[in-house]
Structure 1
Amino acid sequence: MRLNEITYTEAAPVDGYGPGFFRVGGKIVPGAVCLSPQGTQGWGGLEDDGPLLALSDEVDVLFIGTGAEIAHLPGPLRQRLEGAGVGVEVMNSPAACRTYNVLLSEGRRVALAVLPV
Structure 2
Amino acid sequence: MSLEVSPLVAEGRNLVSSYGDGLFRFGEETVNGSVLLFPESIYSWNVKSMDDITVDSFARVIEKADEIEILLLGMGNRLMPVPLAWRHALKEHGIVIEPMDTGAACRTYNVLVAEARRVAAALIAV
Under TM normalisation by the shorter chain, which class is it? 0.7 to 0.9
Q: Does 1:31 align with 2:40?
A: no
CA distance in 1, matches of 2:12, 2:94: 21
CA shift for structure 1 position 30 = 0.7
Aligned to 1:85, the other structure's residue is in SS state: coil
Q: CA deviation at 1:38?
A: 4.3
Q: CA deviation at 1:59?
A: 1.4
Q: Which structure has more helix as a fraction of its residues?
A: 2
* Residue number among 57, 82, 86 corresponding to 2:91 in the alignment: 82
Query: Which deviates further from its counterpart, 20-29 or 70-79?
Result: 70-79
Q: Once the two structures are aligned, what percentage of the paired residues are identical?
A: 35
Matches for 1:7-46 after TM superposition, within 5 Å: 7-45=9-47, 46=53
TM-score, reference length from structure 2: 0.80
8 Å contact 2:8–2:110 — kept in the other structure? no
Q: Aligned AA for 1:27? A: E
Shift of 1:37: 3.5
- Opposite residue 50 of structure 1, the aligned amino acid is A
Number of corresponding residues: 113
C-alpha contact 1:93 1:116 (8 A) present in aligned 2? yes
Q: Distance in 1 between matches of 2:68 and 2:30?
A: 24
RMSD, aligned α-carbons: 1.7
Moved over 4 A (4+): none
Question: Unaligned regions of 5+ residues in structure 1, if any?
Answer: none
Q: Output the amino acid matched with 1:53.
A: I
Q: State the partner residue of 1:108.
A: 117
Q: Relative to structure 1, is the Cα distance of residues 53 and 10 closer, same or farther in structure 2, using a 3 angstrom cutoff?
A: farther
